[in-house]
Amino acid sequence: MNTSRPDIDSPFALTPAQIAQFRADGYIKLKHVLSPDVINHYGPIISAEVQRLNTMHVPIEQRDTYNKAFLQVINIWTKNETVKEFCWGQRLARMAAELLGVRGVRMYHDQALYKEPGGGVTPWHADQYYWPLSNANTVTAWIPLQATPMELGPLAFAKGSHKFEAGRELGISDESEKAIGRSMKEHNYPLDDTPFDLGEVSFHYGWTFHRAGPNTSDRPRAVMTIIYMDEDMRLIEPHTKAREGDRAAFAADVEVGGIMNGRMTPVIYSRDAA
């Protein structure tokens, strides 16, 4: 282990009850996953890269709903060695594998989601709408780089909604916010809409419906995400424009039907190698 950096590799002791809760609810929020030292070390570097790489310069009031929700910068790990070090940290990757119940995980991609002051809601959606992947063994680690009170727009989840299929055909939009929100209420999926402490991290399945409120504060909501998938995941035919875009970005060198073992989707943690 590299002792010159904060600890992002030692195991986090997940309990059987926490793993069962994740699988039943479709998500879990866990406190004290990352230390203040980790956040203070990597957070400013990630934020600087978001500012450097961001291509959205249209004023918020002139943007559509998707682009009002957040500044989105993807695959930062390929552009900065320190961010790569963070994204390849063994603690989060091992947690992802244990929550999913798989031997190991690949990184599908990283994604910074910065909600600017005055940024709008992130509409209801399920991430896997965008992903041409063969099964549901996917999980997103949502990593706030500061404590995230309600005014910053923390992530909110519909408990148990990863088992609900209606609405999976909707991308992030005004339509998804209305239709999925209505459906979650009609089918009595409880809403978990609570703040995040510093160092608290959530994990949610690719098919778990979630949203975030607006940022009504005067400072940005800085969040890094890492999307993990079963190391044996396969690429399926991308039948939508969104999935075609993801295939081009993350799996251009993978054959349809083949394991997602391309240049952009490395194995981050494997029990066999640990």
pLDDT tens-place string over residues 125-136: 999 999 999 999
- Give the pLDDT confidence score for residue 1 in this predicted structure: 43
Is 0.75 surpassed by the pTM of this model? yes
In a 3-state reduction of DSSP, which class is residue 224?
strand
Containing structural domain, residue 192 = 16-264
- Give the pLDDT confidence score for residue 198 in this predicted structure: 98
Maximum pairwise Cα distance, the chain: 52
- Give the pLDDT confidence score for residue 68 in this predicted structure: 87
Question: For the chain, what's the residue count?
Answer: 274
- Domain at 234, CATH number: 2.60.120.620
Decide if 272 is inside a domain: no
Decide if 10 is inside a domain: no
- Report the relative pairing of strands 210-212 and 104-114 from DSSP bridges: unpaired
Q: Considering only residues 16 and 2, tell me which one the structure prediction assigns the higher pLDDT.
A: 16
Decide if 255 is inside a domain: yes
Residues 135-149: tens digit of each pLDDT:
999 999 999 999 999
In the chain, the percentage of residues whose pLDDT exceeds 70 is 99
Decide if 274 is inside a domain: no
- Give the pLDDT confidence score for residue 67 in this predicted structure: 85
Decide if 9 is inside a domain: no
CA 27 to CA 7: how far, in whole Å?
Answer: 24
* CB burial readout 2-37, b (16+ within 10 A) else e: eeebbebbeebebeeebbebbeebbbbbbeebbeee
- Give the pLDDT confidence score for residue 122 in this predicted structure: 96
- Give the pLDDT confidence score for residue 274 in this predicted structure: 59
CA 258 to CA 233: how far, in whole Å?
Answer: 8
Q: Judge contact between 124 and 189, C-beta under 8 A.
A: no
Using alpha carbons, select from 134, 121, 31, 49 the residue that is nearest to residue 86.
49
Decide if 131 is inside a domain: yes
Q: How confident is the model at residue 6 (pLDDT cuts 50, 70, 90)?
A: very high
CA 257 to CA 237: how far, in whole Å?
Answer: 8
Decide if 121 is inside a domain: yes
What does the block give as tokens for 131?
Answer: 């992903």
Q: How confident is the model at residue 2 (pLDDT cuts 50, 70, 90)?
A: very low
Residues 175-192: tens digit of each pLDDT:
999 999 999 999 999 999
Decide if 174 is inside a domain: yes
Mean pLDDT of the chain: 96
Query: Does residue 271 register a pLDDT over 70?
Result: yes
The pLDDT of 251-270, averaged and rounded, is 98
- In DSSP terms, which residues pair with 212 in a beta bridge? 122, 155
Give burial (CB, 10 Å; 0-12/13-18/19+) of 253. Answer: exposed
Query: Does residue 3 register a pLDDT over 60?
Result: no
The Cβ of residue 169 has, within 10 Å, a number of other Cβ atoms equal to 11
Total domain count, the chain: 1
Rg for the chain (alpha carbons), in Å? 18
Residues 45-66: tens digit of each pLDDT:
999 999 999 998 999 999 999 8
CA 76 to CA 132: how far, in whole Å?
Answer: 21
Amino acid type, 147: A
In the chain, the percentage of residues whose pLDDT exceeds 90 is 95
- Give the pLDDT confidence score for residue 273 in this predicted structure: 75
- In DSSP terms, which residues pair with 228 in a beta bridge? 107, 139
